[in-house]
Amino acid sequence: MVGKMRRLGRIVKNGKTLIVPMDHGISKPIRGLEDIDGVLRRIDGVVDAVVLHKGVVKRSKFVAEMEMGLIIHLSASTCLVDPNDKRIVTSVEKAIELGADAVSIHVNIGSKTEGRQIEEAGRIAELCDSWGMPLLAMIYPRGEGINEKDPEMVKHAVRVGYEIGADIVKTNYTGDPETFAEVIDVAEIPVVVAGGSKTDELKLLKDVRDAILAGAIGVAIGRNVFQHKNPELIAKALRMIIHDGADVEDVKGVLYEGSLALS
């Protein structure tokens, strides 16, 4: 597993990680991803890794030279029929060809197609082991009548990732550090929290700080970075909390000074 350990080291630094997923465009065109290379240039050197689909990587004029780790997302769906029905649209081998440091998959437990998604995830985990490729499993409780932040459901999501053989699991923050600590304890696997919809930046930073204190190793936050008026600035604030152990009060000053510089 030397290959997997070396690749993980490009994404997880000193046991912590700041990942920015930018795979949202396949679900529907979304603000902030019109110029992906432009965003990548701004956050490179601040963020540990980004998540992209294969087509974006193939056409990028910057990915080949960026310092950040590259995670190729294997799953996709659109908003037009059933967004919870994730399908595998590329392979571990293709990700290797494109120079990926890891791959990611998306599984929605509680969805109508949960069984097939878990089956595919299990097979991909085995392929990742064979190739020495780290697997980030984005697993969420999603389906009719399901509370996506219910601690028991989030625990279940993390346990599924552990059982299928993922190397890192991304899931929802429960909104409370005590219950999220219980989520962390459910399985011996690193957990990163999702950012979700665009939200108030101070609330975001507080939730990230609480999640880290509860035992998360970092975050995988997309819209709250690439839709921010200054993606580099919010990425720096997140990095201070995740890698430097800064408090939100410490980071507020950085955000304020950065906002003044923009005005």
Catalytic center residues: 23, 140, 170
Cα distance between residue 99 and residue 72, in whole Å: 9
Q: What is the number of residues in the chain? A: 263
Cα distance between residue 217 and residue 245, in whole Å: 12
Q: Are 239 and 212 in contact (CB under 8 A)?
A: no
Count other Cβ atoms within 10 Å, centred on residue 210: 20
Q: Spell out the residues 6+ positions from residue 171 whose beta carbon is closer than 8 angstroms to its own.
A: 138, 139, 140, 154, 157, 158, 161, 183, 191, 193, 194
Cα distance between residue 215 and residue 209, in whole Å: 10
Q: Which amino acid is at 122?
A: G
The residues that bridge with 198 in the sheet, in sequence order, are: none
Find where tokens 């697993």 sit: 139
Q: Are 14 and 243 in contact (CB under 8 A)?
A: yes
Q: Spell out the residues 6+ positions from residue 8 whose beta carbon is closer than 8 angstroms to its own.
A: 102, 134, 167
